[in-house]
Amino acid sequence: MKELIEQLTEVYGPSGREEQIREVIRAEVESLADEIRVDALGNLIALKKGTGQGKKVMLAAHMDEIGLIISHVDEKGFLRAQRIGGVDPITLTGGRVQFADGTIGVIAPEKRPEFRKDPDLSKLYIDVGATSRAEAADRLGQAVGFVRPFTDLGNRVVAKAMDDRIGCVVLIETMRRLGNSPHDLYFVFTVQEEVGLRGAQTGAYGVDPDVGIAVDVTVAADTPEAYKMAMKLGHGPCIKVKDGRMLSHPGLKDLLIETAEANEIPYQLEVLAWGSTDAAAIQLSRGGVPAGCVSIACRYIHTPSEMVDIDDVENAVKLLLAVLEGPIEI
């Protein structure tokens, strides 16, 4: 599983530019699916047909990652950028970014003392080694992702874009291990989650599921002076109760809890004070969809060094398998 995590997290794919990561994921799941397609917005939808005696279930994990988009090129070839998703400028100085064509740039502040006092994105620039505007003019409007190598710390692993390539890993591993299921299972690898759950919104409309389950990361509140929340690394997948935009369907939440307990799978309850996942968009599709979320606790979310626990990932796969191979009565 670590090899797959490394493979997925190191691929370029900021919101709106998911082509490269989509092709990597497609290569992993195409042989596992009965049908596979890409919708108009760019979601990758892989269907595994059931026995015809169950429900239509949508499982969603987003392929996109946070990043920046170039908004200005000055006369010396230095670039200015705007956010794609929830980027915190204080995490960026001295870091590197990558364009779709592989070009690397370095992020630096204009004046470090002033930036420390007011860490605003407008005070940062990107240096791609250009010496004039003409050398870098074509970079205007291009998106960049962050560059940081995958690191194996034993039971914990660190990489950029764990949010939400780790959810994509969970879905791929679930597809690989899945036995017989009564349900038609739509594994949807969504686009543009970081800029407003856009892929999940159109994907859910197209699939029209009976039930929706998102797989994403959530804040690990187990670091020094962390926010007062219950989620921790290594304590099992988190079953969402609430986040900033949704309340999980109580029947689906209870099914996840009962299934975890029946199969002796460790789990945590997630009550998140802010943020949300694709489940919030699925929930509001068409006439409404019972939806919930299985989350992986993650430290340092929305930085280039996000950390998860391998046991949590493995147990998330086990939980989904146990739910999907049985009846879903909610």
pLDDT band at 227 (very low <50, low <70, confident <90, very high): confident
Residue 107: the pLDDT is: 97
Residue 282: the pLDDT is: 98
Long-range CB contacts for residues 36-41, cutoff 8 Å, separation at least 24 = 39/202, 39/203, 39/206, 40/202, 41/191, 41/192, 41/198, 41/199, 41/202, 41/203
Residue 288: the pLDDT is: 97
In terms of Cβ atoms closer than 10 Å to its own Cβ (0-12, 13-18, 19+), residue 179 is: exposed
What is the rounded average pLDDT for all residues in the chain? 96
The three-state secondary structure class of 128 is coil
Greater pLDDT, 206 or 225: 206
Residue 309: the pLDDT is: 98
pLDDT, average across residues 113-120: 88
Write out the CATH class of domain 2-65+160-324.
alpha beta
Active site residues: 193
Q: Please answer whether residues 223 and 262 qualify as being in contact, where contact means their C-beta atoms are separated by less than 8 angstroms.
A: no
Instruction: Parse the chain into domains and list their residue ranges.
Output: 2-65+160-324, 67-147
In terms of Cβ atoms closer than 10 Å to its own Cβ (0-12, 13-18, 19+), residue 248 is: buried
Residue 112: the pLDDT is: 86
Ranges 178-182, 237-241, 252-256: which has the least confidence: 178-182
* Domain 67-147, architecture per CATH: Beta Barrel (2.40)
pLDDT band at 225 (very low <50, low <70, confident <90, very high): confident
Is 90 exceeded by the pLDDT of residue 80?
Answer: yes
pLDDT, average across residues 190-206: 97
Residue 276: the pLDDT is: 94
The three-state secondary structure class of 324 is helix
Is 90 exceeded by the pLDDT of residue 109?
Answer: yes
Is 90 exceeded by the pLDDT of residue 278?
Answer: yes
Residue 310: the pLDDT is: 98
**pLDDT tens-digit series, residues 12-24:** 999 999 999 999 9
One-letter amino acid at 235 equals H
**pTM above 0.85?**
yes
Residue 52: the pLDDT is: 86
pLDDT band at 150 (very low <50, low <70, confident <90, very high): very high
One-letter amino acid at 86 equals G
Distance CA(125)–CA(107), nearest Å, equals 6
Q: Please answer whether residues 36 and 77 qualify as being in contact, where contact means their C-beta atoms are separated by less than 8 angstroms.
A: no
Is 90 exceeded by the pLDDT of residue 174?
Answer: yes
pLDDT band at 162 (very low <50, low <70, confident <90, very high): very high
pLDDT, average across residues 117-143: 95
Distance CA(291)–CA(273), nearest Å, equals 18
Structure tokens at 138: 């074509």
Residue 36: the pLDDT is: 98
Cα angle value 228/156/303 (rounded, 5°)? 60
